[in-house]
Chains A and B, each alone.
Chain A
């Protein structure tokens, strides 16, 4: 895992009000979650998060009808094949993203936390919803969670208005001071999930090799135990604990390889040049990861904040970020809408593939909850109001798709995070600045 450890300095803790909020949550991290039941009636649940930057053209995004998602808006039109499994939520907001803009749009999207305004290494944000899920759901899988991106060169140094680049680079944070790096290179992601690849038999063989190395390790520890005194034997027992932990991971991996029918996996080597091709590979890896039950929690930074990608393939030759500062110029607004639509199109193709992939007594889409959206609302105003938000996912979690939930007053995005966690079996009273749950999305928990 690409984890780095960072100790919270005493002063940072004292200075940040968020520290008081985030820390108790950290300690209450493992609440009594609903027990996993792998019967056909209650199959495995999964959760994924997709981030797009710089909000959207809200006029062309917002569907006309509400409660029922009748006619799709121009930007959301590509979702038609999966309309019944998608819900649109409008008028959600991220109050804690102010006063920042691009950096906090990214860092607050999954944390709803206020980011400390610093360029140095004393950054401080909040634990993100996917990591809360990972701490619980990751116990059952080989990889606790996956962080993906599309941009190979993370920025360094100063990014925006005195915020450290870590806020723009990292979508997932496993603690207020532990940003998790993400991976955009398909090969690296593949290796993390499948090692060298090959077919299920080859992967199982690789896992068995690891297991036999561990056997040898254990045997030697046992021999050393004979030669040392009591305190050292206790130390050696701790080592054996770690060995057992790794052995359990291997067992889970072997079982996943045996239980799940995944095709022979050819390890990708390079990065596809075209955006759409690269995106497809990254989405396909997510499907594979879920299919093989290697992980159940994924976050994906679909493009980064301040991205300057151009999209000539859809007729937008100007870079994304400057265009997003449209100042209500209709030409630029139309360009933004095109980019938004393109992203939705690629996402919809992914959802369609999820729907077509069998899983248990339904499809992969039935058993997976996906959140798609941005931490910014109107990119020309750089605000964090009326964020573009979609929830996709299936009946197994009780999602009522085909809806458009429109809040009268701006409601905190954290409410949605709290609700999604509940759907995958993690009951919390509060998440960040949540004020309640998004009741209309799901059937009531029985």
Chain B
């Protein structure tokens, strides 16, 4: 529909590529120069005397102009607006010129050295050693840049280095198993605000509450498990009433191995008189599912003088009616009987020494380490790599045995920069500013860290090592294969978690007074819904516009009840087709997104507006000025609706310049309260006013209106999502010189209805992904030598 007139206009102008004519000059004079002239220089910009004939010589300026005009931020509200036809014609002309800038390809420059992010480290260990570790307890969090935590990875503090060494030692011992020399002890805890009255997702049927986790047991042997129960502020075990008795089960791989009786008589409820809930069980080495949970005792309604709530964890307000698990302390192995047969040993030990003699052992050690290093370093192994590891192996061998030698060498691999850092270096003879295609091996890493946040698998690595990856069709084949692989769920967790700020869900602590029914169960449900939804669009290769408007979502009983959707029973998440007029569906209706853009006591149209403008529309508002005075909440009457509360945003001209754009985008979502429930009224008797607007479009009402407005210009959403994916894929912020590539991706994707794979493939085939710009390199250093 839009291609009609714009297409005509474009044909007229693109006949002479790069040439702009009087029409564009007129456009500027009429709609821009009133403010952006030499005298006023509004926003620091003057368009007087710019050379319109070749915008491509000033791409930084024109890309800014294009972004603002395309999203409709410029001309600002109140100023004369160009008719849609003219706006599109102008954009087509300028963009055409920028895109066709021949020979000025700028793929940008990723950092030469980037260490693995914490998530990437965890995934790499999983794929390298078949070992699930919790990197959160081993390594500090990464700082974010441009919204993603894989952008500022050029640092290495002493603290981090220490942690890498400790982590490497711990992981190698766990992977080999036999060299775990002493008792290990771990604590696994549950959040205090988890309601454990009913069945939790993933737990066996017939149980309530508790936790289930996969724990890697280092060796065959006996392990002591101690369970600590949730207590209230007085130190008394919560939920123990009268003489009621509860059965608490310990399950290993879903089989009950022990049962505790929990009642006042059995354990007492004072701190010191408690008999500890401890048991020792035999376990074989390797990863096992360990669960501690209660047998469910009937489902009768709880008598209560207050309105019954779903959440029950706060002993002052909504007390637990039954005991709950707080922590599990695991200690072991006692009576250790060796490392047994575990997935990590099978992955690591690709051979066993053929004989007792040192030479045989060293041959096998070399084979083991070469296999490991190829995967860890993400490239074929050299003799130098192996030679470097031999001293570590020999030292451990001399100290004890073959397996200790391997352990020490594995530690050395895991603490080597070749594993910890991704290096992209310019080719030897490249002049500064030169543009080159990155190597197949570098491309393989980019691909696997993009889609899986992990190391390339053997198939991808092989293709790259043989130089096949850059062959036509091979890259696309590998990309599709990797998208179909289960590991691409990473995009739903790691990418979407940052694009939609889901990582902040853990910090969402709604006021207990106002939001009685909020608990960890709901928090987890929010996250599940969005992750499963995102993954469904990816895996079913749907159009990304589904993110904006959808007729289905994923629910379990708790979430459905929260949303007011009937007919969903059980804790398992399942796809639910929504009714025609449903208030749920697209991302803007998800409890997750709506909660992370709210405060503890109220919604925030500002946070919501910023999310919509920045991460959906691609029209990020400028940063707030440095000395914004605090909102004086005390002078705000308690009975003011949200719009009145934020009135100062509109009346103060300094605030209004940004907030007249930000706030309306957020107001459209006002029908959803701070924890994502639908409401018609706020403050009990005032009707919610959900009229809103986004730049460049007419006013609309509510979330329906917002979605329709975004869908009217789907290319904007597609471009914004592409930019976010590209940032995540490259590990650097997207700059003005990437804009032609983004436009190309969006154009091609439009032909396929914006299917998810079209965006991914577009990115993978793009100039910024496949190429790199050189800097003043070793060439300068070498010139002296030559």
Contact = CB atoms under 8 A, between A and B. Distances in A.
Interface string B178-205: 0001110101000111000000000000
A155 B193 CA distance: 11
Contact of B778 (A158, A214, A229, A235): A229
Interface in B333-383: none
B192 A310 contact: no
B416 A220 contact: yes
Given A14-B629, A15-B630, A121-B507, A216 B233 contact: no
Interface in B741-786: 775-778, 780-781
Contact of A269 (B112, B154, B331, B391): B331
Contact of B185 (A197, A227, A229, A269): A269
A298 to B, nearest CB: 20
A306 interface: yes
B326 interface: yes
A262 interface: no
Interface in A246-289: 246, 249, 267, 269-270, 273, 275
Given A119-B509, A230-B780, A224 B158 contact: no
B157 A229 contact: no
B778 A242 contact: no
A302 B236 CA distance: 20
B270 A231 contact: no
B388 A216 contact: yes
B224 to A, nearest CB: 8
B234 A156 contact: no
A14 B423 CA distance: 43
Contact of A217 (B154, B270, B417): B417
Interface string B684-703: 00000000000000000000
Nearest to B314: A157
Contact of B776 (A11, A185, A229, A270): A229
Nearest to B332: A269
A217 B416 contact: yes
A76 B391 CA distance: 60
A229 B415 contact: no
Contacts of B185: 185, 187, 269-270
Nearest to A197: B182
A1 B629 CA distance: 36
B357 to A, nearest CB: 26
A270 B270 contact: no
A153 B329 CA distance: 12
Nearest to B317: A158
A212 B140 CA distance: 23
Given A228-B777, A269-B331, A246 B271 contact: no
A238 interface: yes
Contact of A213 (B183, B411, B629, B778): B411
Interface in A27-74: none
A270 B331 contact: yes
A230 B776 CA distance: 7
Contacts of A5: 140
B84 interface: no
A140 interface: no
Contacts of A230: 776, 780-781
A247 to B, nearest CB: 9
A160 to B, nearest CB: 8
Contacts of B157: 242
Contacts, number: 146
A228 B425 contact: yes
Interface stretch (B159-167, B433-441, B585-593): B159-167
A213 B412 contact: yes
Given A153-B326, A216-B415, A224-B113, A242 B272 contact: no
Contacts of B781: 229-230
Nearest to A238: B156
Interface in A190-226: 196-197, 209-210, 212-214, 216-217, 219-221, 224, 226
A228 B109 CA distance: 14
Contact of B161 (A212, A235, A242, A270): A242
Contacts of B236: 308
Given A196-B181, A243-B158, 15 more contacts: A3-B140, A5-B140, A119-B600, A156-B192, A157-B314, A213-B412, A220-B418, A224-B423, A229-B426, A229-B777, A270-B331, A273-B276, A275-B272, A308-B271, A319-B270
Interface of B: 112-113, 140, 154-162, 165, 168, 181-183, 185, 187, 191-193, 228, 231, 233-236, 270-273, 276, 314, 326-327, 331, 388, 391-392, 408, 411-412, 415-418, 423, 425-426, 507, 509, 512, 600, 626, 628-630, 775-778, 780-781
Interface of A: 1, 3, 5, 10-11, 14-15, 119-121, 152-153, 155-159, 185, 187, 196-197, 209-210, 212-214, 216-217, 219-221, 224, 226-232, 235-236, 238-239, 242-243, 245-246, 249, 267, 269-270, 273, 275, 306-312, 319, 321-322
29 contacts: A5-B140, A10-B626, A14-B630, A120-B509, A120-B600, A121-B509, A156-B192, A158-B512, A185-B187, A212-B391, A213-B168, A216-B416, A217-B416, A220-B416, A220-B418, A228-B778, A229-B426, A229-B781, A235-B113, A236-B113, A242-B161, A243-B158, A249-B158, A267-B183, A273-B276, A307-B235, A309-B272, A319-B270, A321-B234
Q: 4 tightest A-B contacts by CB?
A: A308-B235, A156-B192, A245-B158, A229-B777
